[in-house]
Chain A
Amino acid sequence: MSEPAVIDCTEITVRYGPVTVLDKVSFVVPERRTLCIVGPNGGGKSTLLKVLLGLVRPQSGTVRVLGREPRQARMRVGYMPQYVQIDPLFPIDVEGIVRMGRLKGRGLGFYTREDRMATRQALEEVGLWEQRREAYINLSGGMKQRVLIARALVNNPELLLLDEPTAMVDAHIEARLLEKLKELHNRMTILLVSHDATFVSGLVDEVLCVNRTAEIHPVERVRDKSVTRLYGEPVQHVVHGHTHHHGEGEEQPDA
């Protein structure tokens, strides 16, 4: 018996004006899998995330997230943008940001006791309850990441989407993030965009290679040729002090 699909994309095509960003992309993600989306800049990774979030509507093809239209599934999806996309000067504290994840579009815009409880739970999960009154502006890059993860988790989502979670953070923060994702791995389906496939090598079940088209590879099959073909040139990863050259017949990638 096949597992129920959390994401089911069939031949989706997205164009921005004359430019085709995604061309007849099809893939299925079953429950409780962790996928890493890799691909070159401008290859369509972020657009694919936006399609799954219902922020971009494909010109053709069908998308089902948790069995529904992406816009209808939003409340069951957690999303973490890159922290550099958030205004660092905004006057808000840690709790305020996480609680924002509980906001609803309907009714009066007040928070309930349940919202406050869920916020506390999410902050405790990422170890930031004690820092709940800290101003966002004063946080380190790693703490900002954790705040945004807490906001993505505050609704106890079934699907977690992370956009470049390792961008602009050091190796120590990366390692802590990996530990957190390993914990979440058992509870929900995770899709993360990353340039750094080795970072998630111990976590992901499959790699979704996106460059206008998309192809899912089991982790062990992502080898020199497929990565080189995807990026169009030899790719070098520098991770945790180890150097991996792909495409030049040197070391095999971890991913």
Chain B
Amino acid sequence: MVIPITTGKGRSSRMHEFWEALTDPHVDFLRIALLMGLLASLAFGMTGSLVVVKRISYVAGAISHAVLGGIGAALYLQTVHGLEWMHPLLGALLAALLAAVIIAWIRNNGFQREDSVIGAVWAGGMATGLVFISKTPGFVDPMSYLFGNILILSRTDLYLVSILDLLLLGILFVQYNRLQALCFDEEQARLRGIRVGWYYTLLLCLIACTVVLLVSVVGIVLVVALLTIPAAMAGQHVRSLGAMMALSSLLTLFFVSLGIVIGFLGDWPAGPAIILVAGVAYLLQSLLKRVAA
């Protein structure tokens, strides 16, 4: 899953390699990765801010882990039953949307304890995926799904994330005020005639779409960190949800870009490098805030 980088060279040599890879017209993986970072930042910033203000990072975690169930099932159906059209991405999307609708439905109707259902979806999705993968003939490496690899993305991935960004921007443009009300004060939103259950389901479906398309950047396990850390950092410096989304997107862009560079130079997997950069920044911000207080 890691793009092999020549080892044993000095930092300046690796920097030179990085610059060559970035500017070589015949090699576009690094440019695609950075462009993906830019596009992903928008989706992460917008959806992540909603996740943070609504305090549902555990729901996003459950949805992202359920994605493995869809990927595993799709790989199995493709390989064993010859369903070529069942692309892993389609399986991931169906699983994520199913998880989102189940969690929203349980929550809206209060049939079960929401946290128990989230736990079941979280672990059940992973277990389903691993069983299907183990039963799929040939070698399937779950690591790239679990931890992602932004350096092996194609132009198709860029198009899909562009479409996701447009979809998110469109929905947020029209429904921003209602989604903000849902996240700020659900009771008040209900009193204003807003169909809270419907909007909560919409919110979880937006999270599901974002998670699916961005799993390729940092993987199933790490996606929640990139959804929440930049938004949590941004939330401490703004007075509106819109500003939080904008600042969160900028922070995500910075973390993804720096993570790609550090991963390239240090021969680290890019996904964990991105998360470590974000995590260290969050830690520093928290320490500085504490010192300032």
Contact = CB atoms under 8 A, between A and B. Distances in A.
A91 B239 contact: yes
Contact of A90 (B176, B184, B192, B195): B184
Given A100-B180, A100-B181, A92 B241 contact: yes
A86 B184 contact: yes
A55 B192 CA distance: 12
A96 B238 CA distance: 13
B116 interface: no
Please report whether the interface of chain B is mostly helix, strand, loop or mixed according to DSSP.
helix
Contact of B192 (A93, A104, A111): A104
A74 B192 CA distance: 7
A108 B193 contact: no
Contacts of A85: 185, 187
Given A79-B191, A105-B192, A100 B239 contact: no
A106 B243 CA distance: 26
Interface string A94-115: 0011001101111011110000
B6 interface: no
B193 A104 contact: yes
A246 B237 CA distance: 49
Contact of B188 (A90, A92, A96, A151): A151
Given A53-B191, A91-B53, A103-B194, A111 B235 contact: no
A36 to B, nearest CB: 22
Contacts of A89: 235
B37 to A, nearest CB: 24
A75 interface: yes
Interface residues of B, number: 28
Contacts of B241: 90-92
B239 A105 contact: no
A68 interface: no
A105 B188 contact: no
A230 B174 CA distance: 50
Interface of B: 53, 55, 174-178, 180-181, 183-185, 187-195, 235, 238-241, 243-244
16 contacts: A74-B193, A75-B193, A79-B188, A79-B191, A87-B184, A91-B241, A96-B240, A100-B180, A100-B185, A104-B193, A106-B193, A109-B174, A109-B175, A109-B177, A133-B239, A134-B239
